[in-house]
Amino acid sequence: MAALTGKVALVTGAGHRKGIGHGIARQLIKAGATVVISDLADMQSLQNGVTDLQALGGEAAATLCDVSDKVSFDQALDFVLKQYKKLDVLVNNAGVAVGNEDFLAITDSDWQLSNQVNLMGAVTGCQTVLPFFKQQNSGSIINIASLAGLGAINGIPANYTATKFALVGLSKQLALQYAADNIRVNAVCPGSVVTQMHALTLQSIAESNGVSLQQAQDIENASIPLGYSANPEAIGDAVVFLAGDGASYITGQALPVAGGMAPGL
């Protein structure tokens, strides 16, 4: 029997096929879970994602979920419960990388958006599922933070770092508070993963160093002991581990999945 057979998982920010959310969904379904993918908008793209996931041989569905809107999150949970009668795993993956590496150039709206999605989106997700998990007396929440949530990394906007640190803190506090209800809360901290968000980071490395995109990738690779950026599936594998019974004694941890890259200061 696969590790997650019989478990139902909801993944936020999983609307496009090249993102980490979809990579997580692929690994969850391969491990036997039923997976509901969600995103801010674009139901067509979500439906295409469902078709891809079903081709892997499992059960999948999609629903819209704007993590910055409590009503939208409630509706997503209702959808999952109507469809599958239970939820075992919430993956708070939705995130935005806005801002500027120059602290003084970060706008109020950058601060607001990163706070609204990176931190408060996960807060809303936890507020939505925790009453149900408590009633069920089980559940696993996995927050996709960042290596930038463990230390300050050159070139990363302060608003991104601050919200990802806060997400790690949230994971630890909730792990403590809900352990008695058999609910585990952990964070996964990716380093560099090949997605649209990563393409923007590379562009910024290229611009600030006055080099080509390939040279920017080489600069980044030199800072990763394993020498390359991960595929989204590598983050999915960590999520599968933390969601499964093999991690039943692990809670309140922030797991770097970063090819050995150090979090910095």
Ligand X SMILES: NC(=O)c1ccc[n+]([C@@H]2O[C@H](COP(=O)([O-])OP(=O)(O)OC[C@H]3O[C@@H](n4cnc5c(N)ncnc54)[C@H](O)[C@@H]3O)[C@@H](O)[C@H]2O)c1
Residues that bind ligand X (CB under 6 A): 12-13, 15-16, 19-21, 39-40, 65-68, 93-96, 117, 121, 144, 146, 190, 192-193, 195-198
Choose between 19 and 244: whose C-beta lies nearer to ligand X: 19
Min dist CB 199 to ligand X, Å, is: 9
Q: Using CB atoms, what's the residue nearest to ligand X?
A: 95
Asked about 249 being catalytic, the answer comes back as no
Judged by beta carbon, residue 32 or residue 198, the one nearer ligand X is 198
Kindly state the smallest distance separating residue 55's Cβ from ligand X, in Å: 20
How far is Cα 36 from Cα 62, in angstroms, rounded to an integer? 5
Residue pair 207/163 in contact by the 8 Å Cβ criterion: no
Residue of 84, 160, 178, 249 with catalytic role: 160
Q: How far is the CB of 161 from ligand X (least distance, A)?
A: 11
The residues near 92 (Cβ < 8 Å, ≥ 6 apart) are 12, 67, 121, 122, 125, 126, 141, 142, 143, 144, 167
Rounded CA-CA distance 37/79 in Å is: 11
Give the torsion through C-alpha atoms of 171, 53, 47, 7, to 10 deg.
Answer: -50
Active site residues: 160
